[in-house]
């Protein structure tokens, strides 16, 4: 039962095969059993979840159900949850009980979802392996000596290990897609501005976007229906007509034009991953899609440009943590500067401090043109590359990550090595367009994801392609054997 | 772009961070490596390109200038490290 999709669980709740209280209790039991090893959750909301489940059972019985009524979900610990600890993976917020709910949390609650708890993540979403969390690394359910990816690693591991039905995540440079790839699940980063950022702790405001980590493309579509749409409390939220993201799932792929970026399929990409992607492409071709090559000539500049834009915005966003109004405060400060400096130095981990300093440097007097402005210019070139490619193709297909999940400790000696992990995902954030990762195969017992990227507002089309692929393959149904 | 320890200490001060002396060499070397990677940006000429601040070149929405928030001071100060009479407490700033 716990491995079922949201769509399947919703039908089971409707048929009264199971109640939400029973389902919630079963997930809570599994969390209790697995979390000591996997460390996917920072906080488990046992009592609140059972209360919400009982209420959801009443609502469904009264005929007031939505697809999410009574479905046990998890939120990345970057989303503020009223009266529940919200740490963002940081010591800085080890005592932060949020006074309000994020819009994403509020909308899913209104849809009747049951919140099981808050998932572990890289500190302030800065990382690609979940190793920067103050609360310890998350372990990959497929192999506990490996990382789950990051920064939404706790959400990805929780979905893959059936510790929730579906989870929320955020993606600033690949933080939904790369962990989805490493854990063998489906993850969608929507168009920038499609999902409200209100109450989502800010990392890089011009790149951050929330989205689902799920067991199927259909589930991702269901969650998008619940969370997407204009929010007056987020000034960058887009006023785009509402749509039913499940409406086109059944559409045929006849005539679909797929572009393969020449620079993604080079010697740098593991040959076994190439073979897996070629097999996936054959499946899509057999469903009526055609394939051509496309060029993204500035993709190699996406990581350098990102590591100016993201740290610069982070250095501004994280200036709010000063030990005065909330969060960690150093003991016995001798003066105000000492209060700021010690609270921040004790509260932040090494990677967060590094990025704040890189951003502070890039924005400091005399360097703005050489760094932030230059990066914004490259951002436009990257966006134009995608615009050009989408004149001849509907979606772009490539790898999500150059390889399968790596070992804990393998890549955290040098920050730049870790940054290059996101070489295939970062350009999508810089361009503001939607991208998703879905399971495409297995390599030595570990899942491999493929990435689909489309023009702005093409989420429904991406979900359609992913759903049709999942109707004809079973990679997304593979589950790790977790003891 | 290579930085020296003095540069890094200055940046840390601007960001209101402290670096412990035994860590300073490593912090400087790692930040320098990051800046070297970032410098790949200089490999192309972008003089004719307009900077992109927002993916859809959107501007900020405006709303009517009306009071919509209610006063939640007491609630919000419950999570503050130190308050008194509705004020946040910090070390003495003016003698």
Region of poorest pLDDT, from A115-129, A259-273, A378-392, A428-442:
A259-273
Mutate which of B10, B12, B16 to test chain A, going by most A C-beta atoms within 10 A?
B16
Contact residues, chain B, for A236 at CB < 8 Å: 54, 58
Contact B44 A301 (CB under 8 A): yes
pLDDT reported for residue B62: 86
Alpha-carbon Rg for chain B, nearest whole angstrom, is 23
Q: What is the largest CA-CA distance in chain A?
A: 70
In a domain, B9, yes or no: yes
Contact A192 B31 (CB under 8 A): no
In a domain, B31, yes or no: yes
Query: Residue A357 and residue A262: Cα distance in Å, rounded?
Result: 35
Shortest CA gap A57–chain B (Å): 32
In a domain, B11, yes or no: yes
Query: Residue A305 and residue A447: Cα distance in Å, rounded?
Result: 29
In a domain, B19, yes or no: yes
Q: How far is CA A169 from CA A77, A125, A211, A214, A231, in A?
A: 9, 10, 6, 10, 18
Domains, chain A, with CATH or none: 6-255+435-447+462-477 (3.90.1300.10), 300-376 (no CATH)
In a domain, B26, yes or no: yes
DSSP secondary structure of A335-370:
SHHHHHHHHHHHHS-HHHHHHHHHHHHHHSTT-TII
Residue A401 appears among annotated catalytic residues:
no
Contact residues, chain B, for A416 at CB < 8 Å: 33-34, 37
Contact A356 B17 (CB under 8 A): yes
Residues 6-65 of B with CB under 8 A from A: 8, 11-12, 14-19, 27, 30-31, 33-35, 37-44, 46, 49-56, 58, 60-61, 63
Token pair 């932040």 in the structure block, residue: A348
**Tens-digit pLDDT profile for residues A144-171:** 999 999 999 999 999 999 999 999 999 9
Contact A381 B75 (CB under 8 A): no
Number of domains chain B contains: 1
Q: Residues A190, A229: contact at Cβ < 8 Å?
A: no
- A94 interface with B at CB cutoff 8 Å: no
Shortest CA gap A228–chain B (Å): 17
pLDDT reported for residue A269: 86
Whether the bond between A401 and the residue before it is cis, its omega within 30 degrees of 0, is no
Helix (H, G, I), strand (E, B) or coil at B63: coil
Contact B41 A374 (CB under 8 A): yes
**Tens-digit pLDDT profile for residues A403-422:** 999 999 999 888 999 999 99
Q: How far is CA A235 from CA A10, A231, A379, in A?
A: 34, 8, 21
Helix (H, G, I), strand (E, B) or coil at A394: coil
pLDDT reported for residue A95: 97
**Tens-digit pLDDT profile for residues A177-218:** 999 999 999 999 999 999 999 999 999 999 999 999 999 999
Shortest CA gap B37–chain A (Å): 6
Name A473's Cβ contacts closer than 8 Å, sequence gap at least 6.
A280, A283, A440
ipTM of the complex: 0.95
- A297 interface with B at CB cutoff 8 Å: no
Contact A378 B35 (CB under 8 A): no
Contact B31 A373 (CB under 8 A): no
Q: Residues A433, A454: contact at Cβ < 8 Å?
A: yes
Instruction: For chain A, give the percent of residues with pLDDT over 70.
Output: 100
Confidence of residue B61 (pLDDT cuts 50, 70, 90): confident
Burial class (CB in 10 A: 0-12, 13-18, 19+), A353: buried
Average pLDDT over residues B1-26: 94
Helix (H, G, I), strand (E, B) or coil at A439: strand
Name A431's Cβ contacts closer than 8 Å, sequence gap at least 6.
A379, A382, A383, A386, B55
- A240 interface with B at CB cutoff 8 Å: no
Residue A126 corresponds to which tokens in the numbers above?
């800065």
Shortest CA gap B93–chain A (Å): 7
pLDDT reported for residue B53: 85
Please indicate, yes or no, whether the overall pTM of this predicted structure exceeds 0.90.
yes
In a domain, B35, yes or no: yes
Provide the 10 A C-beta neighbour count for residue A468. 22
Shortest CA gap A27–chain B (Å): 31
Confidence of residue B1 (pLDDT cuts 50, 70, 90): low
In a domain, B14, yes or no: yes
- A205 interface with B at CB cutoff 8 Å: no
pLDDT reported for residue A266: 85
pLDDT reported for residue A72: 98
- A321 interface with B at CB cutoff 8 Å: no
Number of A–B residue contacts, CB under 8 Å:
162
Contact B50 A192 (CB under 8 A): no
Contact B44 A378 (CB under 8 A): yes
Upper half-sphere CA count for residue A154 (Cβ side, 13 Å): 35
Contact B79 A95 (CB under 8 A): yes
Residue A19 appears among annotated catalytic residues:
no
pLDDT reported for residue B56: 83
Task: Report the candidate in A126, A40, A158 with the shortest Cα–Cα distance to residue A422.
Answer: A126
- A193 interface with B at CB cutoff 8 Å: yes
Helix (H, G, I), strand (E, B) or coil at A259: strand
- Name the residue in chain A with its Cα closest to that of B13: A341
B32: domain range?
Answer: 5-41
Contact A335 B82 (CB under 8 A): no
In a domain, B36, yes or no: yes
- B1 interface with A at CB cutoff 8 Å: no
Name A121's Cβ contacts closer than 8 Å, sequence gap at least 6.
A76, A77, A78, A88, A89, A130, A133, A150, A151, A152, A153, A154, A155
Shortest CA gap B56–chain A (Å): 8
Q: Exactly one of A90, A128, A129, A151 is catalytic; which is it?
A: A151
Task: Report the candidate in A447, A401, A409 with the shortest Cα–Cα distance to residue A425.
Answer: A401
Contact A375 B55 (CB under 8 A): no
Shortest CA gap A452–chain B (Å): 19
Residues 34-93 of A with CB under 8 A from B: none
Residue A175 appears among annotated catalytic residues:
yes
Q: Is the pLDDT of residue A276 over 90?
A: yes
Contact residues, chain B, for A375 at CB < 8 Å: 41
Query: Residue B91 and residue A406: Cα distance in Å, rounded?
Result: 46
**Tens-digit pLDDT profile for residues A30-71:** 999 999 999 999 999 999 999 999 999 999 999 999 999 999
C-alpha A283: how far from its chain's center?
A: 26
What is the average pLDDT score of chain A? 97
């Amino acid at each position: 039962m716990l491995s079922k999709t949201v769509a399947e669980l919703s039908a089971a709740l409707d048929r009264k095969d199971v109640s939400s209280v029973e389902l919630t209790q079963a997930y809570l039991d599994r969390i209790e059993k697995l979390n000591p090893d996997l460390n996917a959750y920072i906080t488990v909301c046992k009592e609140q979840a059972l209360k919400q489940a009982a209420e959801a059972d009443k609502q469904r019985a009264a005929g007031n159900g939505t697809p999410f009524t009574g479905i046990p979900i998890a939120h990345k610990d970057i989303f503020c949850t009223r009266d529940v600890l919200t740490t963002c993976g940081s010591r800085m917020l080890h005592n932060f009980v949020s006074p309000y709910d994020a819009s994403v949390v509020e909308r899913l609650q209104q849809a009747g979802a049951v919140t099981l708890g808050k998932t572990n993540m890289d500190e302030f979403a800065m990382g690609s392996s979940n190793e920067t969390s103050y609360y310890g690394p998350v372990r990959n359910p497929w192999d506990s000596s490996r990382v789950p990816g990051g920064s939404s690693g706790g959400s990805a591991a929780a979905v893959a290990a059936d510790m929730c039905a579906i989870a929320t995540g955020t993606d600033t440079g690949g933080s939904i897609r790369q962990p989805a790839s490493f854990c063998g699940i489906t993850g969608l980063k929507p168009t920038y501005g499609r999902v409200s950022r209100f109450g989502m702790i800010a990392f890089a405001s011009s790149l951050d976007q929330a989205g689902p980590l799920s067991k199927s493309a259909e589930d991702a579509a269901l969650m998008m229906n619940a969370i997407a749409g204009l929010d007056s409390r987020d000034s960058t939220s887009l006023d785009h007509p509402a749509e039913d993201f499940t409406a086109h799932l059944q559409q045929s792929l006849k005539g679909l034009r797929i572009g393969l970026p020449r620079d993604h399929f080079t010697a740098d990409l593991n040959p076994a991953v190439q073979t897996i992607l070629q097999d996936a492409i054959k499946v899509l071709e057999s469903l009526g899609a055609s394939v051509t090559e496309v060029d993204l000539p500035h993709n190699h500049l996406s990581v350098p440009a990102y590591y100016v834009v993201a740290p610069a915005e982070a250095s501004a966003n994280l200036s709010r943590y000063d030990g005065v109004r909330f969060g960690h405060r150093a003991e016995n400060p001798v003066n105000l500067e000492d209060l700021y400096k010690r609270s921040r130095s004790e509260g932040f981990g090494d990677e967060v401090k590094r990025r704040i300093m890189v951003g502070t440097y890039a924005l400091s007097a005399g360097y703005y043109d050489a760094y932030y402005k230059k990066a914004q210019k490259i951002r436009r070139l990257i966006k134009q590359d995608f615009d050009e490619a989408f004149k001849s193709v509907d979606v772009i297909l490539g790898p999500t990550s150059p390889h399968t999940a790596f070992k804990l400790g393998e890549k955290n000696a040098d920050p730049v090595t870790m940054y290059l992990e996101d070489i295939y995902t970062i350009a999508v954030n810089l361009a503001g367009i939607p991208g998703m990762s879905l399971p495409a195969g297995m390599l030595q017992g570990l899942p491999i994801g493929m990435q689909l990227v489309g023009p702005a507002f093409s989420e429904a089309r991406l979900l359609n392609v992913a759903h049709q692929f999942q109707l004809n393959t079973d990679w997304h149904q593979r589950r790790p054997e977790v003891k | 772009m290579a930085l020296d320890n003095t540069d890094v200490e200055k940046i840390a001060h601007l960001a209101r961070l402290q670096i412990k002396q035994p860590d300073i060499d490593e912090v400087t070397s790692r930040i320098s490596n990051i800046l070297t990677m970032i410098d790949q940006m200089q490999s192309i000429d972008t003089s004719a390109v307009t900077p992109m601040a927002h993916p859809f070149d959107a501007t900020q929405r405006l709303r009517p200038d009306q009071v919509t928030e209610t006063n939640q001071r007491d609630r919000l100060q419950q999570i503050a490290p130190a308050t008194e009479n509705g004020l946040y407490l910090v070390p003495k700033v003016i003698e």
